[in-house]
Structure 1
Amino acid sequence: MLPLDSTSRSVDRLTTPPSTGVQRSFDDLGMPLAEVTFCVLDLETTGSSPNDCSITEIGAVKVRGGECLGTFHTLVNPGCAVPPEITVLTGITHAMLYRAPRIESVLPALLEWMGGAVFVGHNVRFDQSFLDAALVRTGRPRIANRTLDTCALARRLVRDEVPNCKLGTLASRLRLDHQPSHRALDDALATTDLLHVLIERAAGLGVTGLDDLLMLPKLGGHADLAKLRLTERLPRAPGVYLFRGHQGEVLYVGKATDLRSRVRSYFSSDTRRKVDALIRETAQFEHRVCANTLDATVRELRLIHQHRPRYNQQFRRVDQAAYVTLTTDAFPRLTVVRTPSAKALVHLGPLPSTRVARLVVEAIETAVPLRRCRARVGANGRDGMCTSAQLGVASCPCSGAIERDAYAPLVERVVRGIEHEPDLLLEPLRDRMLTLARQERFEEAADMRDRAEALASALRRQRRIDALRDTGAMRVRVPGNGGVDLHCGCLVRSWPEGADPDTELPFETARQPDGATGGPRVPLARAVADEVHAVSSWLQANAVRIELLATDVGFAELLPAVPSFSARPSRMLKPNT
């Protein structure tokens, strides 16, 4: 018996979607479906378990662009008797299989014939599981081809037209040229006809590329699936995207390295209520192609701060940013403020919230015994000792117990710790944490750890921002990801890979936000600080590849590095499973 029949058969051709009037590149579409080779395969077996049962027949059809490239058909000797119920269902008897080849001799020819084609099946997991089991038993690796399930695709595209998605039902209701008969090649031919019908239906949703077709079965019955067509013009390029409501309001802003794939992923079987509500309220998608990933990150931040979309929950409280400052009183103390003053001796922030800011203040006051009371203290102090001093955790200028000359070194220690020497503040916290742990006061030690990590995180962010603010103008390039011009840590303009930054750029350049410049002691607004920190993160992520093309004063991370106090699970203390 010849397993391979390379004769060509005429089958339904792929239907291309109507022209939109805009020439779209193949990169935007992914691999066009007309160029994809599909291998539609069906198996007959002795039962339903791939571990206990064997393959009795293989039928496969290879198609591309609506044309049949060949068929593969062979019976397979399972090495065991065929159960009577299988014979009744398929008509395959033990006598038919007696002289058929064993699976180990069929697999090499089948795998070579399939090549890298997309593996298609109706309930493809069933066929794949039997093939994988046979491959493993013969010492071969599992099949690695991309797979497409026509049953799942039919549920997505024609579920309302048929009582069920069985192959026989679909073939009858959709009037396919081939009807299944529980024989491998007949079923494979029917599945091929079904595949072409489903591709035509998918084209109506703007699905014209392989990636989109493979994703379509995962769209889990989304009530607003018709809106998927709104994403048809999205390119496969880095950029930002906006979900807009029926009144044109911005509901959500995001960034992506592949705009088309990212926006379409919101239609997947994501069960989060927020995503369902977002899609339900969306009337249109807007996108802006960016020169590179940093351009996309910065534009996302600026659009979020500009529009305050209600579905961008992590940025809904941008007005709640807080700063820790050291006052300019005769006896300075730490305060938490919303709007910092440039006259403060030192500032730390912006921080995410007043809660975090208070945790940072508690950490610094634990390390350095600054005064904690809010009363105004004159040069000579006043009568009475404050509560913190009575507890022995703070200095007491209130009663005149400490003079300004003796208090000044405490202030200097805080300033130096925030600006240049973080160990001055963090080492006392570490020592205190370890002491509490040795005394088995674990809850207090954990509280001390949380304070230390809040301070360390704030210092780490502040130092990264300050390091970039001091660089002035800087031009950098990352091979394969274009380049950017920066000024005081903010993005001024960007260009894609291959563009000349000294000529007119094909992309609208980013604008430098207000408040980016100023002396090193001028605190930044939350929006600007977020941007500078994003630039710093991008530079750090690409540190080994980055090319510094021009700079005013150079750029380097400040030393020493700020340690981390975040809790890490012990490898020796794993919960029982």
Structure 2
Amino acid sequence: MRSPMLPLDSTSRSVDRLTTPPSTGVQRSFDDLGMPLAEVTFCVLDLETTGSSPNDCSITEIGAVKVRGGECLGTFHTLVNPGCAVPPEITVLTGITHAMLYRAPRIESVLPALLEWMGGAVFVGHNVRFDQSFLDAALVRTGRPRIANRTLDTCALARRLVRDEVPNCKLGTLASRLRLDHQPSHRALDDALATTDLLHVLIERAAGLGVTGLDDLLMLPKLGGHADLAKLRLTERLPRAPGVYLFRGHQGEVLYVGKATDLRSRVRSYFSSDTRRKVDALIRETAQFEHRVCANTLDATVRELRLIHQHRPRYNQQFRRVDQAAYVTLTTDAFPRLTVVRTPSAKALVHLGPLPSTRVARLVVEAIETAVPLRRCRARVGANGRDGMCTSAQLGVASCPCSGAIERDAYAPLVERVVRGIEHEPDLLLEPLRDRMLTLARQERFEEAADMRDRAEALASALRRQRRIDALRDTGAMRVRVPGNGGVDLHCGCLVRSWPEGADPDTELPFETARQPDGATGGPRVPLARAVADEVHAVSSWLQANAVRIELLATDVGFAELLPAVPSFSARPSRMLKPNT
């Protein structure tokens, strides 16, 4: 019987520029690789039956082989009385006759011994779903639960690893072409022995792709027929830990940056049956993978953001265009108006942003101007005014101080309403939009109602994001811990230090201290840059997701949101301001 080649110490030629390479002689943790294949117990099982339907047909023979590390631990073989006649075509195929089964035990008495013998071994079969379906049907008929062992299909694994070497993946063909020690004969034990030989050959082939653990072997049959499947070997150094990963091209350029709670599983998932052309193109252009193990999931999220902002990878859609951010500000003129700017001034009466684009910013401006009739014209307001009102004022949707139709004392309450609505009382802006939307819907002006809904949702999303960012900026220094996920030090909402579970934050910092982005400090009136705002929002999302488990270890001030909630105007999650993921 062949012994599998299990290279537990194999290394990848991929370059890990973000981590210190492992020193010579240091073996990686088995937790990083999953259970090594040399330690896995496989139960290779084959059944002979009276037909192909598990509901209408019965088992006539069971053969099984238990192996670990290439060594046979034992075999299990028995004929089974099906309680019915064996069809002639089955007798011709297998040689099993009714006379052979007459004194054989019934399946009810065989199952307990079989299940005890299998134990928790990985259930292996050639077209394992067929064998599992008959066993499950027999278990259900005898009042027992279905088999719960992990399963591995050598037929599917052969399609992945040797399909180009054989005309088909039938067990007989594979045994002949690969010159296995045992040849199948349509008898259960012979077929199980042949399948065992095949399993060992396939494990040898899988080792060439960097498959060294059980989890990777079980995933391999599910991988799509990717032309660059050989690049899977580049991922063999990836650990099972939270962190960030980079796809690099042949010139060293960063193609894509991502984060994961399990780096190994996440990167290998790109080789699965994902049919998106974008993923196929990404894998084709990738020459190496890099990774950085992080202390916890927040550390990984923040580092992902910073790497995207630094490299601007062309396969990353989110957070890449930090220079396209826009802000809505209320000017400090005698008669203030709303403007959309790229670089806001701290002197503005109020600001909202950063927003992902000028398109979203204009939608927010339209929403506020619909709720409050601020002036919309850009003309300078003179001392004597001008003849005629602007178009918006003539339509009755805006004030027109430039014509002298409204005085400063009458205009001031409108400005105050906008400031209060953005800072503390969102209903002052959102309720008029809701009323207008419902009115349009009752009048069956559904397209206009949908447009009003989109404006309201854009404004509500911007207000929610702004509120979460401002709440963290006001907290100053804060130290929190999430049981099982380490802890972090925050300053004005930015990550400045992180540590894994079990480490002392003051004396044991195995990871590089996270850098605090520029522009994170300052009073709440100072608008944040897009890159910093993305990071603070990511921190806020992490705190919200772990709110019931967070332990607050130290803080300069309390952290709680006492303002009224901002309602949602969309039945689906807003795509305008999608939270960091």
| In structure 1, distance between residues paired with 2:112 and 2:516 | 61
Closer, same or farther: CA 137–3 of 1 in aligned 2, 3 Å: farther
Shift of 1:436: 2.5
| In structure 2, distance between residues paired with 1:342 and 1:16 | 43
1:304 aligns with 308
| In structure 1, distance between residues paired with 2:19 and 2:97 | 41
Secondary structure class of the residue paired with 1:130: helix
Closer, same or farther: CA 533–18 of 1 in aligned 2, 3 Å: closer
Closer, same or farther: CA 572–116 of 1 in aligned 2, 3 Å: farther
Give me the TM-score of the superposition, normalised by structure 1.
Answer: 0.93
Shift of 1:15: 29
Shift of 1:504: 4.4
Aligned residues, how many? 577
Runs of 4+ with deviation above 4 angstroms: 1-22, 568-577
| In structure 1, distance between residues paired with 2:325 and 2:277 | 28
Shift of 1:101: 2.2
Secondary structure class of the residue paired with 2:318: helix
Tell whether the 8 Å contact from 1:8 to 1:70 is kept in structure 2 after alignment: no
Q: Bigger CA drift: 104-113 or 550-559?
A: 104-113
Q: Bigger CA drift: 251-260 or 131-140?
A: 131-140
| In structure 2, distance between residues paired with 1:472 and 1:144 | 51
| In structure 2, distance between residues paired with 1:15 and 1:138 | 55
Shift of 1:230: 1.0
Tell whether the 8 Å contact from 1:11 to 1:193 is kept in structure 2 after alignment: no
Shift of 1:223: 1.2
Instruction: Indicate yes or no: 2:399 matched with 1:399.
Output: no
Tell whether the 8 Å contact from 2:325 to 2:356 is kept in structure 1 after alignment: yes
Closer, same or farther: CA 539–128 of 1 in aligned 2, 3 Å: same
Secondary structure class of the residue paired with 2:38: helix
Q: Bigger CA drift: 248-257 or 315-324?
A: 315-324
| In structure 1, distance between residues paired with 2:68 and 2:524 | 63
Tell whether the 8 Å contact from 2:60 to 2:79 is kept in structure 1 after alignment: yes
| In structure 2, distance between residues paired with 1:401 and 1:12 | 68
Structure 2, unaligned stretches of length 5 or more?
none
| In structure 2, distance between residues paired with 1:69 and 1:76 | 23
| In structure 2, distance between residues paired with 1:10 and 1:177 | 37
Closer, same or farther: CA 571–298 of 1 in aligned 2, 3 Å: closer
Give CA-to-partner distance per residue, 1:312-371, whole Å, 9 cap, x none. Answer: 122343322111111111111111111111111111011111121111111111111111
Give CA-to-partner distance per residue, 1:409-437, whole Å, 9 cap, x none. Answer: 10011011101111111111122222223
What is the 5 A alignment of 1:173-572? 173-567=177-571
Secondary structure class of the residue paired with 2:77: strand
Shift of 1:460: 0.2
Give me the TM-score of the superposition, normalised by structure 2.
Answer: 0.93
Q: Bigger CA drift: 73-82 or 478-487?
A: 73-82
Tell whether the 8 Å contact from 1:426 to 1:456 is kept in structure 2 after alignment: yes
Shift of 1:163: 2.1
| In structure 2, distance between residues paired with 1:92 and 1:353 | 74
Instruction: Indicate yes or no: 2:180 matched with 1:151.
Output: no
Tell whether the 8 Å contact from 1:292 to 1:495 is kept in structure 2 after alignment: yes
Shift of 1:477: 0.8
Tell whether the 8 Å contact from 2:224 to 2:272 is kept in structure 1 after alignment: yes
| In structure 2, distance between residues paired with 1:559 and 1:174 | 71
Shift of 1:499: 0.8
Shift of 1:178: 1.2
Secondary structure class of the residue paired with 2:239: coil
Tell whether the 8 Å contact from 2:488 to 2:499 is kept in structure 1 after alignment: yes
Q: Bigger CA drift: 72-81 or 534-543?
A: 72-81
| In structure 2, distance between residues paired with 1:8 and 1:248 | 17
Tell whether the 8 Å contact from 1:17 to 1:204 is kept in structure 2 after alignment: no
Secondary structure class of the residue paired with 1:241: strand
Tell whether the 8 Å contact from 2:437 to 2:449 is kept in structure 1 after alignment: yes
Tell whether the 8 Å contact from 2:81 to 2:107 is kept in structure 1 after alignment: yes
Closer, same or farther: CA 85–563 of 1 in aligned 2, 3 Å: same
| In structure 2, distance between residues paired with 1:60 and 1:306 | 56
Secondary structure class of the residue paired with 2:425: coil
Shift of 1:3: 36
Tell whether the 8 Å contact from 1:8 to 1:69 is kept in structure 2 after alignment: no
Closer, same or farther: CA 187–367 of 1 in aligned 2, 3 Å: same
Tell whether the 8 Å contact from 2:328 to 2:341 is kept in structure 1 after alignment: yes
| In structure 2, distance between residues paired with 1:13 and 1:515 | 28
Tell whether the 8 Å contact from 1:13 to 1:196 is kept in structure 2 after alignment: no
Tell whether the 8 Å contact from 2:461 to 2:576 is kept in structure 1 after alignment: no
Shift of 1:225: 1.5
Tell whether the 8 Å contact from 2:325 to 2:530 is kept in structure 1 after alignment: yes
Shift of 1:379: 4.4
Shift of 1:443: 2.6
| In structure 1, distance between residues paired with 2:217 and 2:400 | 72
| In structure 1, distance between residues paired with 2:254 and 2:11 | 56
| In structure 2, distance between residues paired with 1:329 and 1:120 | 77
Closer, same or farther: CA 180–6 of 1 in aligned 2, 3 Å: farther
| In structure 2, distance between residues paired with 1:63 and 1:153 | 18
Tell whether the 8 Å contact from 1:257 to 1:293 is kept in structure 2 after alignment: yes
Tell whether the 8 Å contact from 1:474 to 1:552 is kept in structure 2 after alignment: yes
Shift of 1:71: 1.6
| In structure 1, distance between residues paired with 2:580 and 2:472 | 47
Tell whether the 8 Å contact from 2:12 to 2:233 is kept in structure 1 after alignment: no
Shift of 1:272: 1.1
Shift of 1:193: 1.1
| In structure 2, distance between residues paired with 1:59 and 1:17 | 47
Tell whether the 8 Å contact from 2:18 to 2:291 is kept in structure 1 after alignment: no
Closer, same or farther: CA 7–470 of 1 in aligned 2, 3 Å: closer
| In structure 2, distance between residues paired with 1:407 and 1:562 | 26
Q: Bigger CA drift: 212-221 or 491-500?
A: 212-221
Shift of 1:5: 36
Shift of 1:218: 1.6
Q: Bigger CA drift: 251-260 or 429-438?
A: 429-438
Shift of 1:295: 0.3
Shift of 1:455: 0.7
Give CA-to-partner distance per residue, 1:209-229, whole Å, 9 cap, x none. Answer: 100000111222221122111
| In structure 1, distance between residues paired with 2:219 and 2:282 | 20
Q: Bigger CA drift: 103-112 or 207-216?
A: 103-112
Secondary structure class of the residue paired with 1:313: coil
| In structure 1, distance between residues paired with 2:511 and 2:132 | 46
Shift of 1:384: 1.0
Give CA-to-partner distance per residue, 1:132-176, whole Å, 9 cap, x none. Answer: 222233333222211101111112222222222111111122221
Closer, same or farther: CA 470–17 of 1 in aligned 2, 3 Å: closer
Q: Which has the higher contact order (CA 8 A, sep 6+)?
A: 2
Closer, same or farther: CA 20–69 of 1 in aligned 2, 3 Å: farther
Structure 1, unaligned stretches of length 5 or more?
none
| In structure 1, distance between residues paired with 2:12 and 2:329 | 79
Q: Bigger CA drift: 514-523 or 428-437?
A: 428-437
Secondary structure class of the residue paired with 1:4: coil
Q: Bigger CA drift: 138-147 or 111-120?
A: 138-147
Tell whether the 8 Å contact from 1:5 to 1:71 is kept in structure 2 after alignment: no
| In structure 1, distance between residues paired with 2:255 and 2:12 | 52
Closer, same or farther: CA 20–268 of 1 in aligned 2, 3 Å: farther
Shift of 1:398: 2.3
Secondary structure class of the residue paired with 2:403: coil
Tell whether the 8 Å contact from 1:13 to 1:66 is kept in structure 2 after alignment: no
Give CA-to-partner distance per residue, 1:469-498, whole Å, 9 cap, x none. Answer: 111111111111111111110010111111
Tell whether the 8 Å contact from 1:479 to 1:497 is kept in structure 2 after alignment: yes
| In structure 2, distance between residues paired with 1:358 and 1:382 | 27
Tell whether the 8 Å contact from 1:62 to 1:70 is kept in structure 2 after alignment: yes
Shift of 1:449: 1.6
Shift of 1:246: 0.8
| In structure 2, distance between residues paired with 1:172 and 1:404 | 94
